[in-house]
Structure 1
Amino acid sequence: MTQAFLGLGGKTVLISGAGGGIGRVLVEKFAAAGAQVVGADRDLGMLEGLPLSARILFDQTDSAGTRQAVQAHLATNGVPDAVIANAGYTRAEHFGQLDDAVWASEMAINLNGAYALVDPIAAGMAERGAGNVVLISSVNGLQHFGNPAYAAAKAGLIAYGKAIAVELGARGVRANVVAPGSVRTAAWDHRLEANPHLLDKVLPHYPMGRMVVPEEVANAVLFLASDAASGITGVTIPVDGGLTAGHYRFIKDVLNTP
């Protein structure tokens, strides 16, 4: 995608979770497209080596602290042209690992913290008459693949994105959602160390036969945040190797397809 096609040259984009596996690729992609990138994360060291015009530090599990940090940045630097709510985390994988504390922590970072980040920015965008929001959800918000609390939070992000699109669209604000499947980041390294054969169980569920990589998620985000997607708002785009398109494992195992 060329810089002229995307229309991001000189625009300011704020990316949360900028120091993570997907976040770092998002920063590189937007910077390469000519945008001025503001990176947000919980630790300054996580943002080292990134082409950033500014940095914001907050722990997204703390909604009040997140909102305060964002508002302070807006007061000094103004409202960005786009915000990418990328930060997220999960630990509980099924109901047997879930309790009130885990549920609260999953909601805190994946939904409440994302709202605290985006809300003041979206309000400023609406006041200005232009802006762009992209929320990083998950296929867990579309169908159930375990992680009940995470799934509920990510489904909430999809609903939140639609709300912004509908209520603020006439004031120039677009909002869309990207829903990745399993993404091959460093976070998977720990799981594979514990179970080297885990991918043998995971990959047969994906029609493409592989996980997606961070660059593929970032490309979808880049498109939705750009002028190339100027007529698109309120949609959710899975980047999932075909996982939510249908039950490939069922077809292969039951119908014995080659």
Structure 2
Amino acid sequence: MLLNYILFFSLSGICLTCGRSKRVVSRAEFEGRTAVVTGAGGGLGSAIVALLAGRGARVVGCDQSEEALASPHLASRHVFDLLDRASIEAGIAAVLDRDGVPDILVNNAGWTRAETLDALTADTIEHELDLNLTGVMTFADPLVRAMAARGSGSVVFISSVNAIAHFGNPAYAAAKAGINAYAKSIAVELGRSGVRANVVCPGSIRTAAWDHRLAKNPDIIGKLQRLYPLGRIVNASEVAEAVTFLASDRASGITGVVMPVDAGLTAGCLPFIDDILGA
């Protein structure tokens, strides 16, 4: 029995001396596979691109400008606008023609500015839903169908904790909740065709998306950290690790999952514990 116990923990990557988990991920994990990443030039997109490429993937980057696609980790680049259907369709055709049907699709591109209900107008609602839901689905659908026709594929959507509980940005949150539902539809309807679809819901990440808030209030990060059980917000590399795990064969039995990567934000309300119960 003792021998079996020791063998189990050794194979699981647990250090027998310190008890800590050891990373045993191969640098060639994605060798021979093509991964398409949208929003590849952003803070999170860049981290995802670098990690996939570092583990052997041929990474195809998509963004709305050539300047955003300067990463040396990209093997191929495509420029299109998720708010322009003709541009999306041209982008899809270019990806399939130049790079073939991807093995991995990471739908990362997204954007928001309407932070409260007071900021909503018909135009902002349309803009944020079109960019974060309609455009994403329009781009993903033909590629997902091509994966299913081939018989294999892994799709990861970047959603948000805003899709799980309300933290502002109501139109963006509605769009991201739609993404969660769309991913589950792929998981259920195309699972027998060899396609998996999962969702990563990050909490706050310190990227350029926070610059406009910091410009208004430099102390906002300190205030933000009070909300997180880990006492900090997550970084882009932590979210990228979750994305690459779900995209990989290590997650071969996982589909239709919505995974928060949020330093514990959606687990509960820490300020309630601190300010009410602990008062």
Letter aligned with residue 236 of structure 1: V
Over residues 13-72 of structure 1, what are the superposed CA-to-partner deviations in whole Å (9 max), with x where a residue is unaligned?
A: 000000000001111000000000000000001111331110011011223321331123
- DSSP 3-state at the match of 2:226: helix
In structure 2, list runs of 5 or more residues that go unmatched.
1-22
**2: CA distance, partners of 1:77 / 1:195:** 44
Give the aligned CA root-mean-square deviation in angstroms: 1.4
- DSSP 3-state at the match of 2:32: coil
Deviation of 1:194 (Å): 1.5
Aligned residues: 257
Letter aligned with residue 190 of structure 2: L
Aligned positions of 1:122-137 closer than 5 A: 122-137=144-159
Task: Please say which of residues 131-140 and 248-257 is displaced more in the overlay.
Answer: 248-257
**2: CA distance, partners of 1:11 / 1:61:** 29
Over residues 93-135 of structure 1, what are the superposed CA-to-partner deviations in whole Å (9 max), with x where a residue is unaligned?
A: 1110001100010011111111012101100000000001000
Q: 67, 88, 91: which is aligned to 2:89?
A: 67
- DSSP 3-state at the match of 1:252: helix
Matched, 1:10 2:39: no
Q: Normalized against structure 2, the TM-score is what?
A: 0.89
Deviation of 1:2 (Å): 4.8
Query: Which is greater in Rg?
Result: 2
Deviation of 1:3 (Å): 5.2
Percent identity of paired positions between Structure 1 and Structure 2: 52
Q: Name 2:169's counterpart in structure 1.
A: 147
**1: CA distance, partners of 2:268 / 2:85:** 37
Q: RCO higher in 1 or 2 (8 Å CA, sep ≥ 6)?
A: 1
Q: Name 2:260's counterpart in structure 1.
A: 238
Q: Normalized against structure 1, the TM-score is what?
A: 0.96
Matched, 1:117 2:117: no
Q: Name 1:228's counterpart in structure 2.
A: 250
- DSSP 3-state at the match of 1:205: coil
Deviation of 1:198 (Å): 1.4
Task: Please say which of residues 188-197 and 103-112 is displaced more in the overlay.
Answer: 188-197
Cα gap change, 1:3 to 1:125, in 2 (>3 Å): same
Q: Indicate if the aligned counterparts of 1:16 and 1:39 stay in contact, CA closer than 8 A.
A: yes
Letter aligned with residue 250 of structure 1: F
**2: CA distance, partners of 1:51 / 1:5:** 14
